[in-house]
Chains A and B, each alone.
Chain A
Amino acid sequence: MNKALLIALVFLMSLPTFAQKKSKEHLKKEASVKEYIWSEKKDFSAITIPADLEDQSAITLFREVKYIYNRPHNSIEYTKIEHEQVKLLDQVAVNDFSEFKFQKTAHIQGLLNTFILGVKIIKPDGEEIQIDVDNEAIKEEDENKLAIPNLEKGDILDYYFYSNIIVSENDLYQFDAVEDIVGEHYPILDFKFSLETEKDFFVSLNTYNNAPELETYAALSKENKTRLYGFKMQNVASNDFPRWFYPLVALPAYKFQVLFARTRKHEKRANAFMPTDVNTIKKDINKEEIFNLYEDKFSPYGNLGDVERFLKGKDFLNDEHKVTEAFYFIRHKYFTNYVEAFVLDESDIMYPYGYYKNPIIFNSDAQFIKFFAAFLKDNKIDYEILIGTKRYNGLIKDLLLEDNVDFVLKILTENPLYIEHFNQFSTVNQISSLLENSKAYALKVVDRKHIEDIQLTSLPASNHNINNTTESIAITLEEDFSGMQINRMSATTGHNKVDAQKDRLNFYDYIYKDHKKYGTEPVLDQVKKEKDRLRYKKEYKSLLDKQKEKQLKELEKQTESEYDLEIEDYTFNVLNNGRFGVEDPLEFEEAFTLKEELIRKAGNNYILLIGKLIGGQADIDEEHKQRDNNVYMNYPRSYSNNISLTIPEGYSVQGLEKLNKNVQNQTGGFTSEAVVTDNVLTIKTNKYYQNYFEPAANWPDMVSFLEEAYLFYEGKILLKKN
């Protein structure tokens, strides 16, 4: 079931087979955990299920999530307890909760990880049946499985997952940050969250999106070595997690980070936002704290020899031009230059790294930023480092977890340039769509070296014209109307291009262009011994041939799925990789045939389901035309089509009026225009999403243009015999 999986995922690692026999200590722990969680007997008969929830599949009567951080015998101990009481109202719920999979207690990377599952069933008459998990569970190689016995509709399943890790003594130990929403697929009547720590643990913790304020159940003091914080919430609605939705922004949630540090000095080494005083729970962070954490982290660093040689003797229009060219050079020199080597290594053809004198490969964004800062400093170009957070995490002012931070380099040329990622496709001014259009902090760099100030700023936004996909489709009908030949030219720019490049390009489509452009030598050409070189090249060619064959099949499948139609005689050809700028398009052409699926015989005439050629459209069914949740999208975008069809001789077209559509509003639009000129039918369509975000109140506007696009998709024309 889902829940079990979630728990397991947190610690998902491969485990060595671990002694099956449980230690005395483990048994003692099991007993004490059970006592801790189930000591209080609850009167379930006192709970009445609200009338509006009676048709649910199941209701969570009670859910508690508790984290405990403490220090037994100088160790550091982490405990997580999830405890739920679920009333199963139909057979589906019984099936959903009838099988549990859970981690085995084991040593993982040298740490003892203890997992305990407790299950009992409360029958409608109040009878409690405790499941003997130890005896009933099946111990498999890497997990335990439990089929819950005696479970029936109407029962309450009361279960807990207890997980515990003991970390040996450390000066500093940073636990994984936690962020979660309160709600689930089933409604919850009663929810409780708590975090318990002993002293020496630094804690940042807060609640968001109308979750209740944190309460202090117990604070640290001289007498009190343990503190307890948390909140309670009643009647948490279920959520279906619809399309275009950011749960951590929309639903009650909590986030926290815990750190063990022996002293304040140790704490400073942590990569997290932490309170200065161990007794305080940190609920938010201010500019200064961000400044303090990052002030030293991006000092310019790197050997600029390669870049200098590249720049030498070249004329640039301005600094923007220079920075841009230098970036693409660096992208190649320290990344795509090595892609062939990665491939050769991974496919066991040869060990390539010995052929490089001193390979420098950037594999973290931070490494790149330091290097690029060094380049900027050397060239006396000012810059800032922007600290942002992806929009699905919430607003930057609510930032609490270092994990949620992303960096963007802003270069202060006349028109500022933004650089974020460092990978084979990253281009200047293309930052993550999820960071765009949000607030960020700017770390002000003085003398191009020292970070001296921090200010609130905005990250740029893109628009639907830039994030565009345009498909030009030329249709040629078979003479006997048994099918059609399609030639399609696609061009994508902006964020639409990002996924398209991943889907449509393989490394060999661009790395050799880079080698040529920058005059570098692929590693295979550096192999001196001819016999070896020939053999490696032969094996490498086999690998590429196989990959190209596979790629073509995958591309064909992808195009098939766009149309939801079977296609044949597929060919594909890349025209432009689109790797040198946001507006540098990825362009490719495809040709294929479609059998009669889009052609309907109508007496002597033919109906052509021409709308289907714009590809599948968002289909909002009746149930989803109502929406209470706000709409969170990754970026504004547009999809354009230019379809042309030469009308077969002896036929004329009818029904064009239904293909002319125009619905445009504040949220976006769909427009289409169909005209016949010189016996050629031309249809132009454009669908666009105007914004990143729409309040739920604007949903009907969105539905109206999405519906119009769907109607077009179902549109037909009649080819009438003259």
Chain B
Amino acid sequence: MDPTPEDVSKAKELRSIYDEEDIVLLESDNLVTFAIEDNKVAVNNYTTEHLMNINYRSDIQKPIFYDGESKIEKFQFYYRNKKEARILSKDVSYTDNDLFHNDARVKFANVDFPTQGYTYFFESIKHTKDIKYFTSIYFTSEYPSLSRKIVIEIPEWLHIELFEKNFENFDIQKTEEQVGDKKIITYQVSNLDAYYDEKSSPGPSYIYPHVLLLAKDFTYKGEKQILFNETKDLYTWYRSLTKDINTDSELLTQKVTELTAGATSDEEKIKNIYYWVQDNIRYIAFEDGIAGFKPETAENVLKKRYGDCKGMANLAKEMLVIAGFDARLTWIGTKRIAYNYSTPSLAVDNHMICTLLQDGKKIFLDPTEKFNAFGEYAERIQGKQSMIEDNDSFLLEEVPTSTSSRNKESFLFNATITNEEIEGLASRAYEGESRADFLYNFNNLKSNKKQEALKNYLASYNRNVLISDIETSNLENREAKIDVNYALKHSNAVSSFDNEMYIDLDFYKEFDNYTFEERQTNYNFAYKKDVLTEMRLKIPETYTVSTLPESFSVDTDNFKISVSLEKESDYIVYKKEFEIKKATITTADFEAWNAAITKLNAIYNEQIILTKS
């Protein structure tokens, strides 16, 4: 059906606003209702959308995701005149590259919008069998929405709390009315952007407005049944899945005896067990129904030598317990998740680790973190609240945070100029998470490719940089600082014209052009960084320094960038530091960050000039 002239002009107008988009949702409504089925609270989510093509033509795939706990009961497109459009849909399993196996599925259709202004109506019903798996509903979708409405119909028999998240920056209208025995809550918002397609963003729960559904209890046939009324109920359910999984195992005992045999202290025993699990259990993720919440038994993980986070945490815990320590399973939401355990919901966590209680202290062990040193914590769990098992009760504890200086990474280079080449001895050192990162990458190289790869890495993949005579500290030790010493020769860094030498000293040029121009979300780094560079270049005899790029330094709450170039007797000393203090550059930092990077680029693009005296 051809679009009306009004639709065409509307599409053109919208395209001038959303110039990168093909489709806009003129209207997008969800109606969420509840029913009791099989003594559980089931959820129906009705979607109605009015999609308009604002580009010349669009060919889209319209998906709805579901899994073993849900099903799609309706999936239908309609033409502008509301007549059913016969568009074939497909239903396939949805494979995620990060997961070895999951039960996710997707129902989708290929839909074409032949001209600008063409519209379809779309309706779907997704049925979730148990409200515990229906944790939240988001306002944002893959297309911009001009008018977005979410209606939640709460029956009298259901006690549910709606937790509104990230509403601050949006003009979301909320109304409540009582219709018969139902309370109807309506949220409405206009002109909502689509999801941002940006790398290294915080998790969606930080960015987009959404409502968490905290189902507390329900009354059925006069009997009140508790859902997740408080954190304890969440724990009780988790506990029910983990309580009885492990049984006496000779195999486990044998392995623990073997691992602790030569150990002379408790700490050594713990490390032997923790590191063995890190090194010998391959991480393979399964997400299939209850297996997404219930760990595999410790004996099975030990036998198989693979497991997911739960399996690995449980194995570490069991082995430590057998070795005589107080170790507990621990649930945690990684940095990707914006909530803590004050909201009792399955949306709160996505990870499991193990906590060791020793001498009144709690030490967290995450066996999925390869090359993580005992007592150090990965950025992704730092500062996050964890829920530690404690028989029928539980403990809440925050994982300590550390500072960027713990992850210090440095590069030192003492150089001279010979025949237009800069050469000398260099060294690199890594601590904390930069060390774990280095070790992980190095140990994932094929044995016969390791040396070549290390050379290329140290040369920053720059073919003008030649690395030789490498000496390293032990590259299997995850606790000590890593030192790499080598000889470095950099050709094509010096250009001589007449009496002058133009020197482009820095071949790493970290953060070169690293500005955030159109970015809408915070930029998250894998960990807090502190990267130091110091190069000392001997000024050749008969030359004097005629131009040195100007030094600068910026220091804010979240980052520090400083570069200095000084002449110190016969040397040019080039110092550079990047500190990402909280592993993130927030959108509020972007202006200061971009200004700093612009200055940095100017230095990178400017040459040191030496003139023959």
Interface residues of chain A, those whose CB is within 8 Å of chain B, are 55-57, 89-95, 98-99, 138, 140-142, 145, 147, 149-152, 347-349, 535, 538-539, 541-543, 545-546, 549, 596-597, 599-603, 607, 619, 621-623, 654-655, 710, 714, 716, 718, 720
Contacts and interface: CB of A to CB of B under 8 A. Distances in A.
Contacts of B38: none
Interface in B411-444: 443-444
Given A348-B112, A601-B607, A603-B546, A92 B497 contact: no
A131 to B, nearest CB: 10
B75 to A, nearest CB: 19
A600 B607 contact: yes
Contacts of B58: 546
Nearest to A91: B443
Given A91-B443, A93-B446, A543-B56, A349 B305 contact: no
Contact of A55 (B304, B447, B463, B602): B447
A563 to B, nearest CB: 15
B306 A147 contact: yes
20 contacts: A89-B447, A94-B282, A95-B282, A98-B282, A138-B101, A145-B100, A147-B306, A149-B306, A151-B282, A347-B59, A348-B112, A349-B114, A538-B115, A543-B56, A596-B605, A601-B607, A602-B547, A602-B607, A623-B452, A654-B498
Most chain A CB within 10 A, of B497, B504, B602, is at B497
Contacts of A720: 497
A539 B547 contact: no
A599 B609 CA distance: 15
Contacts of A714: 464, 492
Ranked nearest first, the 3 interchain pairs of A and B with the lowest CB-CB distance are: A149-B304, A57-B446, A545-B56
B102 to A, nearest CB: 10
A672 B449 CA distance: 37
A603 B114 contact: no
A118 B210 CA distance: 49
Contact of B57 (A92, A140, A152, A545): A545
B567 interface: no
Contacts of B463: 619, 621, 710
Nearest to B451: A55
Contact of B92 (A55, A57, A141): A141
Contacts of A538: 2, 115
A347 B114 contact: yes
B39 interface: no
A239 to B, nearest CB: 13
B57 A546 contact: yes
B464 A92 contact: no
B55 interface: yes
B306 A140 contact: no
Contacts of B93: 140-142
A347 B284 CA distance: 42
Contact of B445 (A92, A98, A601): A92
Nearest to A141: B93
Contacts of A710: 463
Given A539-B115, A601-B605, A607-B502, A149 B303 contact: yes
Most chain B CB within 10 A, of A152, A600, A619, is at A600
B114 A543 contact: yes
B444 A92 contact: yes
A149 B502 contact: no
A15 to B, nearest CB: 12
Contact of B502 (A140, A142, A619, A718): A718
A118 to B, nearest CB: 18
Contact of A98 (B306, B498, B546, B607): B306
Nearest to A543: B57
Contacts of B254: none
A390 to B, nearest CB: 32
Given A55-B447, A93-B446, A149-B305, 14 more contacts: A57-B446, A57-B449, A90-B446, A91-B443, A92-B446, A95-B282, A99-B284, A138-B101, A145-B100, A539-B114, A539-B115, A542-B56, A603-B547, A720-B497
B466 interface: yes
Contact of A90 (B447, B464, B547): B447
Nearest to A54: B447
A91 B82 CA distance: 59
Contacts of A549: 55-56
Nearest to A94: B282
B57 A539 contact: yes
A98 B605 CA distance: 47
B340 interface: no
Contacts of A57: 446-449
A147 B114 contact: no
Interface in B83-139: 92-93, 95, 100-101, 112, 114-116
A543 B113 CA distance: 10
Interface in B442-486: 443-449, 452, 456, 463-464, 466
Contacts of A138: 100-101
Given A542-B114, A714-B464, A55 B448 contact: yes
A655 B546 CA distance: 20
B606 interface: yes
A603 B609 contact: yes
B190 interface: no
A162 to B, nearest CB: 23
B531 to A, nearest CB: 23
Interface in B289-336: 303-306
B520 to A, nearest CB: 20
B195 to A, nearest CB: 21
Interface in B311-365: none
B280 interface: yes
Nearest to B114: A539
A600 B100 contact: no
Contacts of B55: 546, 549
Nearest to B547: A603
Most chain B CB within 10 A, of A150, A603, A621, is at A603
Nearest to A714: B492
Contact of B303 (A150, A349, A543): A150
A2 B556 CA distance: 48
Contacts of A535: 2
B495 interface: yes
Given A549-B56, A602-B607, A621-B463, A152 B115 contact: no
A622 B466 contact: yes
Contacts of A655: 495, 497
A145 B502 contact: no
A141 B104 CA distance: 11
Nearest to A57: B446
A596 B515 CA distance: 15
B311 to A, nearest CB: 11
Most chain B CB within 10 A, of A549, A602, A655, is at A602
Contact of B606 (A56, A543, A597, A600): A600
Contacts of B492: 714
Contacts of A621: 456, 463
A546 B60 CA distance: 13
A608 B72 CA distance: 61
A581 B497 CA distance: 48
Given A538-B115, A539-B115, A542-B114, A607 B607 contact: yes
A90 B114 CA distance: 55
B557 to A, nearest CB: 30
B118 to A, nearest CB: 9
Contact of B448 (A56, A151, A152, A546): A56
Contacts of B464: 714
Interface in B9-64: 55-59
A152 B279 CA distance: 10
Contact of A56 (B280, B447, B452, B498): B447
Interface string B520-558: 000000000000000000000000001100000000000
A123 B188 CA distance: 64
Nearest to B59: A347
Interface string B483-511: 00000000010010110001010000000
